[in-house]
Amino acid sequence: MTISQDARKLAEDPVAFFEHSHKRAHELGRAELDQLQLEALRWRFAELRNRIGVLTALADEQDVKDITTFESVVPLLLAHTVYKSYPVSLILKKKFSLLTKWLGRLTTVDLGAVPADECDSIDSWLNAFDQNTALQVTMSSGTTGAVSFLPRSTREWDRWWRQTRMTLCGAAHADGIDEPDEMYDVVWPTFRRGYTVQYRTAPWVMKHFAGSEEHFFAMSDEMVSADVLFLAGRLRAANARGEQLQIEEGDFRPRLAKFERMQHEIAHGAGAFVDRIAGKLSGRRVLSIGAPPVLVAMAQDGISKGMSGVFEPNSIITTGGGAKGATLPDDWQKIVRDFMGVDRLIDLYGMSECNGSHVLCGHGRYHIQPWVIPFVLDPDTSAPYPREGVHVGRFAFFDLTAETYWGGFVSGDEVELDWGACACGQSSPISRRISSVTAKCAVVTTRFPVLLSRKLMLKPSIS
């Protein structure tokens, strides 16, 4: 294959490119990886430049016609806030046709078949995309009072979780290779349905890891309403500002009360869930994806009942996202491992805008996936730091696998990125077309202020 063909295959199907091997995905030499990534980046830009309204406007403004270096794409990276740059009044006044027009500038998918005029809620609007387009739009949780909407296609969702399967199963296996026919009982310690990325994920985890409904065990089958999340977030944000939020009552208060009960049941339901899964899945191979506080609550409850080593030792227990404000025991990982019966927890770093998660190695480094091009930006100037040495700054990236939306993002995270070799050995080239990214992405809690320069944020106009 030519370099152009290899680069396109890397962008379109990393699992096939690396032959289901997480190990191979992190063993390419730096020079070869750079060549593949730059060629794939040029191809993605050429494919999408005139098909995504926001990208077209930004590229025209910056007079970017081609990508010649990694640095030349930086002015086209979108601030994560672009995905909530619509007027909130469109939701409050139920103007979902205009909201659809706004979203249409962020995707290549034709939204003409969406009956937005018939929608009277965020739930009905998001469901309309599910029923009438190739999109499964995901929303953020709205903790700041505003929600973002990311228009990811079903093909991209499927690709994301094929890639995640290769990552998790490969990281768990000594040879680094995933066996696609190897299925797991999935322990899902949260709600089963909803429109945030966490709940959107559930059907894809079921498909790629459990294989069928009978092997998927959720703590709750309840649906988390997008409208309730949106209004609850606005209430919290208003309270934090010391303001009184005026809302149309309707049935919101009862729905909010129900949601709060659901949250309470999840927060305090570890005991009943542990009893259920321990009875059904004892000694079985499981996959569980959970935030540290949830996993600790499950483990502590199980241990208090005399349970330990519940699952098969080659089970996959993943975590990430930090403590979510909770106070965890210093030995929380050991508590979880002892209860679950595994030797290690797989720690992941990721975000909803990126098709894939990055695994923490035994030397404390998150290895960036080879289909993701990382950048560290100066927080004051937005200029990229050199792609060598060690730099601390604002994390930005380009996801080569995004095909219906623009994969270039500037996050709000501060990172330390190390372009040197890692002691875990994932940087050694062992043969042609096998790649490793040796970057370290240690996320800390400090957040950079959102930059509002035209380089980083462009609000789509709504006429």
- The correct CATH number of 155-225+256-349 out of 3.40.50, 3.40.630, 1.10.3470, 3.30.300 is 3.40.50
pLDDT digits (tens, 9 = 90+) for 249-282: 566 677 778 878 887 777 778 889 999 999 999 9
pLDDT category of residue 463 using cuts at 50, 70 and 90: very low
| Higher per-residue pLDDT: 68 or 170 | 68
pLDDT at 403: 97
Dihedral sign computed on CA atoms, order 67, 70, 71, 76? positive
**pTM (predicted TM-score):** 0.88
- Look up residue 116 and give its two tokens: 């937005």
- Look up residue 338 and give its two tokens: 């002892």
Q: Are 409 and 355 in contact (CB under 8 A)?
A: no
Contacts of residue 446, Cβ cutoff 8 Å, sequence gap at least 6:
414
> What is the average per-residue pLDDT within 24-29?
89
Q: Are 25 and 174 in contact (CB under 8 A)?
A: no
- Look up residue 135 and give its two tokens: 């999109």
pLDDT at 155: 97
pLDDT at 434: 22
pLDDT at 188: 96
> What is the average per-residue pLDDT within 105-126?
97
Residue 347 has pLDDT above 60, yes or no: yes
Residue 91 has pLDDT above 90, yes or no: yes
Residue 17's φ and ψ, nearest 5 degrees, are -60, -45
The residue type at 266: I
Q: Are 99 and 116 in contact (CB under 8 A)?
A: yes
Residue 211 has pLDDT above 80, yes or no: yes
Q: Are 361 and 367 in contact (CB under 8 A)?
A: yes
pLDDT category of residue 28 using cuts at 50, 70 and 90: confident
Residue 354 has pLDDT above 60, yes or no: yes
Residue 156: which of 217, 210, 98, 197 has the closest Cα? 197
pLDDT digits (tens, 9 = 90+) for 401-458: 999 999 999 988 888 888 887 888 775 222 222 223 334 333 332 233 333 233 322 3
pLDDT at 455: 30
| Higher per-residue pLDDT: 203 or 419 | 203
Average per-residue pLDDT in the chain? 86
| Higher per-residue pLDDT: 239 or 324 | 239
| Higher per-residue pLDDT: 34 or 322 | 34
